[in-house]
Amino acid sequence: MPNEQNLIVPSSSEARKNGAKGGKKSGEVRRRKKTMKQVMDFLLEQPANTRADYEFLVEQGIDLNSLDPDFINNMLLVNAALMARAKQGDVAAVKELRDIIRDDDMLKHKIKYDNARLRLEKQKLEPVSMPDKAYSGIPASLVAPTFSPVLFDIAEQEHSEYVFPGGRGSTKSSFCGLNVIDLLMKNENMHACVLRAVANTLKDSVYSQILWAISALGLDDEFACTKSPLEITRISTGQKIYFRGADDPYKMKSIKPPFGYIGIVWFEELDQFGGEEAVRTIEQSVIRGGEKAYKFKSFNPPKSAQNWANKYIKVPRTDRLVTESTYLTVPKKWLGKPFLDDAEFLKETNPTAYENEYMGVANGTG
């Protein structure tokens, strides 16, 4: 144990020498790690060319005839082995596979996003027209009967504000998501902003809903999606879909599209915002410029008839269309048997709660 007698303090020159040695050692370790990574990358890219390798891949259910021969390498073997372990309940293997998939998705999105950004910089952010073959609109097969007339109303620009109060499973949020994408595709000078009252609810609700809409419309290759920032970009034009929470007004005011204007807004769970005035303030901050705008507002009506959102839809306004909806008009196969069973059970055991939650009736006295 050191004490005053045996404690030796190195001189400043010795300290410098020791530091230099440490720096060299650290550099050698980094270089060695880099070399080992390069060697491992090289080995993983080598063909899986032994009989045992091919037999193992076939055992895992991989059809080798459908694969490019160059793709049958050691990396494929490693992933197949992970899959085999995962099927046997190996939690670590499941986690590793998820990490690989997640990293791959993030890389693909980043590549798409970066390529789009570089193209836009070269074009000085000028929108690019879509090829003639492309987009034909929202298929009728994706729209519940209640909302079919609304599609025509939007197409004819009969109204600028569309409010959808409805019960669970009425597909109102899906319809809003589809229209955000549809209107972006048809208005290349517009951007969109999707809002919720609280920012930390965005990713697992409206962001996921927009991703679903993109996929349902067959436009996965047309959009680049990022989570930091939480944003979606149409690659061919640079149009943006911003996601914002009303609890962060500074971020709301800081939205500045690279061109054009924000002409599409969607307020999800309208009743959770701070009232009609708060919503109006957000609209004034976000929608600026342009000759037309589309506002979508969806919510499950709260129990109390006195709630501001329930009162809001009772006030007539010529440019507003209110469309109420329930799960009863939705194809049963969209909802699934468990959903329908839960609804029926609540209807039998608690009719008042059923009326509010599934039928969208404000039946409370508060």
| Burial (0-12, 13-18, 19+ Cβ within 10 Å), 273 | buried
Residues in Cβ contact with 140 at an 8 Å cutoff, skipping those fewer than 6 apart: 148
C-alpha to C-alpha distances, 147 to 65, 162, 180, 267, 320, nearest whole angstrom: 46, 11, 15, 18, 15
- In which residue are the tokens 């499950």 written? 300
What the block records as the tokens of 189 is 């000078």
Peptide bond preceding 69 in cis form (omega within 30 of 0): no
Instruction: Give residue 332's identity as a one-letter amino acid code.
Output: K
Buried/exposed code over 154-169 (b: 16+ C-beta within 10 A; e: otherwise): beeeebbbbbbbbbbb
What the block records as the tokens of 11 is 């001189």
Nearest to 204 by CA among 230, 229, 224: 230
Strand partners, 266: 194, 296
CA–CA distance, 298 with 160 (Å, rounded to integer) = 14
C-alpha to C-alpha distances, 267 to 203, 220, 224, 258, 299, nearest whole angstrom: 14, 24, 22, 23, 9
Go through the chain and tell me how many residues it has.
366
Contact 323, 162 (CB under 8 A): yes
Q: Which of 269, 276, 291, 344 is catalytic?
A: 269
Nearest to 272 by CA among 205, 218, 196: 196
Q: For residue 309, is it left (φ>0), alpha (ψ between -120 and 50) or beta?
A: alpha
What the block records as the tokens of 150 is 């609304």
CA–CA distance, 181 with 138 (Å, rounded to integer) = 9
Indicate if 269 belongs to the active site.
Answer: yes
Contacts 24+ apart (CB under 8 A), 342-348: 343/168, 343/169
Catalytic residue annotation? 269
